[in-house]
Amino acid sequence: MFDDNGSFLLAMVEFFIFFTWLMCMFWVFGDVFRSRDLGGVAKTLWVVFLIFLPILGMLIYLIVRGRGMAERAQAAQVEAQRRQDAYIRSVAAPNGGGGGVADEIASAKALLDSGAITASEYEKLKAAALAKSGVAPVA
Closest CA to 72 of 106, 32, 122, 114: 32
With respect to residue 73, please indicate whether it lies within any of the assigned structural domains. Answer: yes
Q: Is the pLDDT of residue 16 over 90?
A: yes
With respect to residue 25, please indicate whether it lies within any of the assigned structural domains. Answer: yes
With respect to residue 139, please indicate whether it lies within any of the assigned structural domains. Answer: no
With respect to residue 40, please indicate whether it lies within any of the assigned structural domains. Answer: yes
With respect to residue 138, please indicate whether it lies within any of the assigned structural domains. Answer: no
Clarify whether residues 30 and 63 are in a common domain: yes
Clarify whether residues 54 and 16 are in a common domain: yes
Clarify whether residues 9 and 61 are in a common domain: yes
Q: Which domain holds residue 40?
A: 5-92
Cα(50)–Cα(125) distance, rounded to whole angstroms?
68
Residue type, 59: L
Cα(11)–Cα(9) distance, rounded to whole angstroms?
5
Q: 40-49, 67-76, 107-116, 129-138 — which is least confidently predicted?
A: 129-138
Clarify whether residues 45 and 75 are in a common domain: yes
